[in-house]
Structure formats: structure tokens, C-alpha cells
Structure 1
Amino acid sequence: MNHWKKISLSTVLVLFVLLMSIKYIFNISISIPSSNIEFSHGDTVSKVNSEYNGKKPKNIIVFIADGMGFGHLSLALQTQQSKKAPSVWQEFDTKGWHDARSIYGPLTDSEASATAIATGTSTNFGHIGIDKDQNPLENIFEIASSHHYNTGIVTDSYIWDGTPAAFAAHIRNEDDARSILEQMAESELDLLFGELEDVGEGDVPEKDETIEILQKRFQLLERSMELPKGAKSTTPVAIIFEEDEIQDLNSSPNLLQLTKTALTYMSSQDNPFILLVESEEMDAASHNNDSKRVLNGLKSIQEALSLVLNFSKQNGETLVVFTSDHETGGLAAVSDFDNYPKMQIKWSTKDHTAAVVPLFAIGPGAEYFVNVHRNWEIGICLKKLITNDVLDE
């Protein structure tokens, strides 16, 4: 009894609020594979492959799963892995986390967090490529271009969305699609794959105007995604699809196909490259507490990520950094005691949360992400790897 008397009223209130926050329970039973994956014991952060120690990566791939937290990751590990298919998440050299907060406080949005990752500077809600005072920030793509890298963006969302925009634009109004598109066309981007959305609404130009803007910089490819050959093989390329065309592995196109085409193009160029691959599925699904879409989206992310990791291993000179810009939905994978050992998905909100999110890395340079604990530190590490500063420390 004396032990319980020591619990403060504030602690009881916090526990009560946490329990009351579980508002949405989806009665979706999820089967756990009969041969569950075996987890290795050891430190939270694994030892970095000594083969890469001190080496500067030639290429960098940044994979951002928008809205994905450790609850989503736990769901993937518990429901989609087996001994016959080792977990893609287990393959990383370093496994950690980062706090995605904005400069305003514990919460953030895609614009602020992606800007922190792209520039190494924390900023406020809705700020794309600018600091809290709306001054433009140099992003890693701009730095990479000045160091003779090719740069590219692949997203299953619309191409002017907050996350891809943070790597190519500087603007306060995230809804001003026309200005973001114009900045992309005026940038040194070599590749831009994604969707259109809300065409003709507000500051979103009609499709014909969008094509006209993009053609100032890019050769627009057909749906077949066939890359230009011969003298045009180094021409900057773009592919744009209609709204919501890019879904999961059941759709064509899908993120896996786009990523494969992008890697083919980037690796065929004479220069090193830095490529952003973004999946919006976890964020979109979690805002609607759509459990089925989460499961399908996780499969899509894992397949695209597996492709990226295989490319990194075969290439031997490519760093892969996987992370999220924030967590959405407060997802928890819990046991279904009425149908044990099946599981259920529970949600605590339809909004962003202040939860920390995964940060994994593999390949040359992975060791520099071991002690990263804030989103802007990712940008600092990437800048140093591009400019070679880390090797001078």
C-alpha cells in the first residue's frame, strides 16, 4: 500500500488521459505468420559494417515514409515477416530514432520536418525550404548539384507536396503549387516522378499549364516509363500521373516501379547522385485510420525499400538513409485476446503525434547517423557527407 501512495495525482491524470485517448478500435484481425522472424539480441543501435568505416558514399538515397512511426514498424514486423523472408528492416547497419518536432514545439508537419531533413535547420509549420523568419535555406540537393551530383525525386504523392517540395523549393504557402512547380523547373533537378492533385483548383494550375512549366526543365516520359536513349539519355526527365493513380503494389504505376526506373536512370549517368524516395501511404492512411490501407502501404514500402537496399549492396558505394518526417495516427499493434495469437490495430488519433520516429542507415557513411536524435541533424550529416566535411573531423 505504501508504494501506491507515492504515485502523484498528476501521474494518475496522465495515465487516465492516455487510456482515454484510445478512441478508435478497428476490429480487424491480423494473422501472424506461423514462422515468426527471429530477433537478434544486442544494443539498440547495431554495429556499423566495418567495411565502410571512414568511406565517403558516392551516392545517397534518402527514403522517407511520411507518417510512419514505430507502431507502423511493429505492425510490419509482426504481420509481414517470416524466416523464409528475412525482414528488410533488419538489414540496416544502424537502427535508431529521431525527434521530428518543429521549432514551434513537440508537433510538426511534413513541410517543417522535411525542410529540417533537407536543410539541417529546424523551422515552423508550413515552411518549405525557409527558416522561421522565412529566409531561404540551402538544401542538400542544391549543395549536391554544386558538387556535380545528379539529383532526383520519386514520390507516390503529388509532386508539389510538402516533402518533395522541401528538397526543391523555398516558399511559405504550401498550397501555391504553381510557384513550387516553377521553382522545380528552375532548379537543377534531374528527375521528378509523381502525381498531380487538385488540378485547376486554387493555386494549382491546369494540367496543360503544369506540363508547360515542367517542360522548361524536363523531358516528360510516357506511361511506359521508357527512358530516353542516345544523345538524350542525360536529359532531365519527369513522369506525372493522375491523382491517386499511384497506390500500392496492386496499382500500376506503383512506388516499386517508379523507384526501379529512377535507379536505372540515376545509375546510368556519369555523376554521383542523391535520390529522394517518398511514400505518402502511411500518412494518408493513418489520417483516416484506414488499417487495410496501412497494411497494403507497408508492403509497398518494404518492396521499394528492398529494391533500394539490394542496389546499395550491389553498388557498394551507396548510402541509404530511411526515416519518417513524423508519426500519424498513434497506431498500436495489439494482441486480439479473443482470437489469440491474431492481432488488432488500434488508433489514438487521426492527427500527427509527437512520437519519435525510426532512423535507419546502411552503407558508407551510415556511422554518422548513430547519434542523431533530432530531424535537423539528419540534414547536417547529409550536408557533411556531400561536401566531405565529415572525413576531415
Structure 2
Amino acid sequence: MKNWKKISLLTIAGLLVLLIGIFYLFNISVSIPSSDIQFSPSNAKRPLNFTNEGKKPKNIIIFIADGMGFGHLSLALQTQQSEKKVSVWQQFDVKGWHDARSAYGSLTDSEASATAIATGTSTNFGHIGLDKDGNPVQNIFELASDLHYNTGIVTDSYVWDGTPAAFSAHIRNEDDARSILQQIATSELDLLFGELEDVGEGDVPEENESLDILRKRFIMLDRSLELPGGGNSSKPIAAIFREDEIQDMQSSPNLFNLTKTALSYMSTQDNPFVLLVESEEMDAASHENDSKRVLNGLKSIQKTLSLIFDFSKTNGETLVLFTADHETGGLSAVSDFDRYPNMQIRWSTKNHTAAVVPLLADGPGAENFADIHRNWEIGMVLKKIISQDSANGKNDQEY
């Protein structure tokens, strides 16, 4: 009798686990109507052409799309391309991937992965500009400033968020906005465009205090983004907006306009530059499984990338690097055979995943990123490119 009771209890427990699993699966697998996602094929092709192989870039633009994986990229390629125009994604000479894991294991957060990209050092969750033991590590902006580069950050997120902070601060507490802002204000950063968030909450100072901290270093631009002239034209500048003001192409300001202004400023300076452009829209949207926000965010990313490519091709001396710090949401574009070739978006989680993420490069020095496998290798290569007097192939450099 006891054995039968034991078997019955096990059977009931098994059924409960199965039901919970089914409930969980259906609640995190979210779709939007296929009619909202129009398939748009692109037949145009661009041949590979390493015309700048072996050359050192004068300028470097790093575009990090927070939370963007190959599912997001596939969605962009399948739904937002002109049939007769080469996709911005096809314009990169180097198309690869990297494993964004942290020193902790296969998963990561923005702080750890952005720090690896910014410093060339793998680290743990929540470590900003620090190695896994909590020691400060020089980032590429600090190295570049020492070598007389101008440096700048453009983000559609708040300026002390994990990704931009990894390029400008060294701290264990990612919520200590006041300390991060103070470190930014005492850095050698020349340009800072982004938002404030949660002002007055916890360790986040009120808006006026935040702006006063930043004014110690930067001339503050108004909403017109008009650059200072005369004797102020080479002074550090900042444009700071309220929470969630910078979103997609319909918002004012938007990532495209901020990046356009940043490139105008950098072009007027006498020095080479390293510029970080970050879009946080994929991460924010994917944490909420917000499919429509993903689509709008992809349009903003592609428009801004096209602007960067136009600049780099005209300039001829600029390396463009595109990647993500991790993937969020486990997004997939799946078939809807009733409305083929349109499709649906499905999600597997609202958290970060261990998926590998895109790594794309174009321009002088792009060939150095053709064999990257881990996020920290990106930072190592960037440091070597910035510090070398003449470009050598990756195989000629000592690691």
C-alpha cells in the first residue's frame, strides 16, 4: 500500500512539473501578429574587398547594441531591407561572432562584458572597469587619451549605465551613479551624450546635482545640439536628456541625430578620435519581450549605422566595429505558413542568454577582428591598434 501511495505521489508530482513547464513555455513564448512583420528581401550583394588591410586607422568608432543577438540581426535582415540596395549589415568586410561570457561562467551582464570589451580583461558580474579581483584596469579611452586621441560616448541610455560606464569609470557598485558621474567629470572624456534616470533615488543624485557634477568638465549643449564656437570649439561637451527621451527614430532627440552631432564635433578637432555609440533599445525591449519596440529599435540602429558608414567611407581613415555585449530574450523569427513569407517573433526568456553575438568590422584594421572568439579579445586588439605606430596583422602581434 505504501509503495502505491509513493508511486501516486510521484505521478502527481511529475504531472505538476509537466504542467508548470507547459505554463512557463507558453507564457514566455510571445508572438506578435505576422501581419506586423513584413518580409522584405534584399538581393543586392557586396563583394569582400580588404582595401585597407595592414593600415592603422586614424579613428575608431565602436557601436555596441546592448542585448542584440543573431536572432535580432536575422530579423533586421529579413524585414527591413530594400530589395535593390545593399544592406548596411552587408557592408562590413568582417562578419563574425564572439562569446560574451564573463569570468564567472557562460552568462554575463552588461557591466562585465562591456568592461571586457573596454579593457581587454575578462571579469565578473557587476564589475565596471575592474578585473575579477576588483583591481582597476586601464580602458581604451584612457589609453587613447594618453596618446592624444579625443574620446566620446553617445548612448540612448543613461550615462552611468553599465556599458558607457565601463569606458569611463572603475567601480564595483553599478548603482552608485554619483561616483560614476564624478569619475566621468574627472576623466579625459571629450564628449558625452545620453540620459539621466531615476534621479533622486538611492545613490542617484537629483537632476541639478547631476548636471552640476558634469559641468565641472563639460560645456552643456541645449536641445538644439548646436556646437560651441570660437574659443570653446575644442572644449569637452555634453548633452544630457531626461529618462526615456532618446528611443527610436520618432523620438527627439534620437540616436541618429546625437551621433551626427558627435561626428561633426570629432571632425573639427585636431586629434584622431575613438567614439563609442551605444544603443540600449534591444536590451530594454527584449527584457520585456516587446516585439514592436525591437522593430523600431532596429530601424534606429540601422539608420545610425548607415550614417557612420557614410562618414567612414568619406573619411577613409576610420575603423567601424559593431558588436553586442550579450544577447537578451532568446529571440527567434519563425515561419507563419498561413501568411508566408511573413513571420512571427517568438521569445524564450526575459533574461540574458549564453548565445554568441555578432562581431562586424570594416575599414582600416578590420582584418584584426576576423578571428575573435571572446569579448575580452576585442579590447586587447583595440588597445594594440591604438598604441601601435604602424599597423601589423594580428598574427604579427604578441598576445
> Scaled by the length of structure 1, what TM-score is found?
0.91
Whole-Å Cα distance in 2 between the matches of residues 246 and 270 of structure 1?
30
Q: Partner residue of 1:9?
A: none
Q: Partner residue of 1:6?
A: none
After TM superposition, give the deviation of residue 211 of structure 1 in Å.
Answer: 1.1
Q: Partner residue of 1:183?
A: 183
Alignment pair present for 1:28 and 2:33: yes
Q: Partner residue of 1:377?
A: 377
Q: 2:44–2:85: 8 Å Cα contact kept in structure 1?
A: no
Q: Partner residue of 2:210?
A: 210
Q: 2:63–2:323: 8 Å Cα contact kept in structure 1?
A: yes
Q: Partner residue of 1:278?
A: 278
Deviations 1:163-221 (A, max 9, x none): 00000000000000000000000000000000000000000001111111001100011
Secondary structure of the 2:33 match is strand
Trace 1:120-269 onto structure 2 (pairs within 5 A): 120-269=120-269
Q: CA RMSD in A?
A: 1.8
Whole-Å Cα distance in 1 between the matches of residues 136 and 32 of structure 2?
47
Whole-Å Cα distance in 2 between the matches of residues 308 and 27 of structure 1?
31
Q: Partner residue of 1:95?
A: 95
Q: 1:33–1:82: 8 Å Cα contact kept in structure 2?
A: no
The one-letter code sitting in structure 1 at the alignment partner of 2:161 is D
After TM superposition, give the deviation of residue 273 of structure 1 in Å.
Answer: 0.1
Give structure 1 stretches of 5+ with no counterpart.
Answer: 1-16
After TM superposition, give the deviation of residue 269 of structure 1 in Å.
Answer: 0.1
The one-letter code sitting in structure 1 at the alignment partner of 2:129 is G
Identity in percent:
73
Whole-Å Cα distance in 2 between the matches of residues 216 and 32 of structure 1?
49
| Higher alpha-carbon Rg | 2
After TM superposition, give the deviation of residue 342 of structure 1 in Å.
Answer: 1.1
Give structure 2 stretches of 5+ with no counterpart.
Answer: 1-20
Whole-Å Cα distance in 1 between the matches of residues 357 and 25 of structure 2?
20
Whole-Å Cα distance in 1 between the matches of residues 246 and 177 of structure 2?
19
After TM superposition, give the deviation of residue 341 of structure 1 in Å.
Answer: 1.5
The one-letter code sitting in structure 2 at the alignment partner of 1:24 is S
Q: Partner residue of 2:42?
A: 37
Trace 1:74-85 onto structure 2 (pairs within 5 A): 74-85=74-85
Secondary structure of the 2:349 match is coil
Whole-Å Cα distance in 2 between the matches of residues 211 and 242 of structure 1?
11
Whole-Å Cα distance in 2 between the matches of residues 50 and 204 of structure 1?
46
After TM superposition, give the deviation of residue 40 of structure 1 in Å.
Answer: 5.4
Task: List structure 1 runs of 4+ shifted beyond 4 angstroms.
Answer: none
Q: Partner residue of 2:323?
A: 323
Q: 1:71–1:330: 8 Å Cα contact kept in structure 2?
A: yes
Whole-Å Cα distance in 2 between the matches of residues 137 and 174 of structure 1?
16
Q: 1:21–1:349: 8 Å Cα contact kept in structure 2?
A: no
After TM superposition, give the deviation of residue 21 of structure 1 in Å.
Answer: 5.2
Secondary structure of the 1:51 match is coil
Trace 1:277-316 onto structure 2 (pairs within 5 A): 277-316=277-316
Describe the shift of the 1:142–1:63 C-alpha distance in structure 2 as closer, same or farther (beyond 3 A). same
Secondary structure of the 2:322 match is strand
Q: 2:39–2:341: 8 Å Cα contact kept in structure 1?
A: no
Alignment pair present for 1:71 and 2:34: no
The one-letter code sitting in structure 2 at the alignment partner of 1:247 is Q
Q: 2:45–2:86: 8 Å Cα contact kept in structure 1?
A: no
Whole-Å Cα distance in 2 between the matches of residues 289 and 27 of structure 1?
10
Whole-Å Cα distance in 2 between the matches of residues 51 and 76 of structure 1?
27
Whole-Å Cα distance in 2 between the matches of residues 27 and 351 of structure 1?
19
Whole-Å Cα distance in 2 between the matches of residues 300 and 322 of structure 1?
14
Deviations 1:133-169 (A, max 9, x none): 1000000000000000000000000000000000000
Describe the shift of the 1:136–1:271 C-alpha distance in structure 2 as closer, same or farther (beyond 3 A). same
Q: 2:219–2:237: 8 Å Cα contact kept in structure 1?
A: yes
Matched residue count: 371
